[in-house]
Amino acid sequence: MHAYDIDFLLLNVILLLYVLTGLSFGLLISTQTNSQQIALMITLVSTILPSFMLSGFIFPIASMPQILQYISNLIPATHFLIIIRSIMLKGVGFAELTTQIAALSVIAFVLLMISMRKFQTHLE
């Protein structure tokens, strides 16, 4: 197995974790709202805009004020950008990415637990 194959496999596994995090956040939003329009607006404001502005995609996190640096650690895209840049540009492996993978895992777990507690089945 070549190093490229291992990097590709690692990237795909982490991508699945990132998708799980996004799906768990979507599940949380859907358990809180009553209509699709409200869910769409909440998703736009709470995911897309912060992901572009606070994840380090456009502006470096180190140049942000301290409070925004703490908030950016709560955004899954921040950790995924660090992971993808590390794998694609630096060629690092799993051992160097454990902090970011753990952060994504914790965010996904917390969002799933909150969603499961908020979920209620209504029979009409």
Structure tokens at 30: 């859907």
pTM score, whole prediction: 0.86
Per-residue tens of pLDDT for the chain, all 124 residues: 666 666 888 999 999 999 999 999 999 998 888 888 998 899 888 888 888 888 888 889 999 999 999 999 999 999 999 999 999 888 888 999 999 999 999 999 999 999 888 876 644 4
Residue 124 lies in a domain: no
Structure tokens at 12: 């795909």
Residue 68 lies in a domain: yes
DSSP secondary structure, 40-92, as one string? HHHHIIIIIHHHHHHSSSSS-GGGS-HHHHHHHTT-HHHHHHHHHHIIIII--
Per-residue pLDDT, 123: 42
Per-residue pLDDT, 81: 93
Q: What is the span of the domain harbouring residue 25?
A: 3-118
Residue 102 lies in a domain: yes
Taking alpha carbons only, the member of 123, 116, 105, 104 closest to residue 30 is: 116
Per-residue pLDDT, 2: 63
Residue 123 lies in a domain: no
Question: Quick check: 40 and 29 in contact, CB under 8 A?
Answer: no
Residue 12 lies in a domain: yes
CA gap 23, 116 in Å, rounded: 13
Per-residue pLDDT, 108: 95
Task: Kindly give, in sequence order, each residue whose CB lies less than 8 Å from that of residue 85, ignoring residues fewer than 6 positions away.
Answer: none
Residue 107 lies in a domain: yes
Residue 86 lies in a domain: yes
Residue 21 lies in a domain: yes
Three-class SS of residue 114? helix
CA gap 23, 111 in Å, rounded: 9
Per-residue pLDDT, 56: 86
- Number of independent structural domains in the chain: 1
Which residue's entry shows tokens 């194959």? Answer: 5
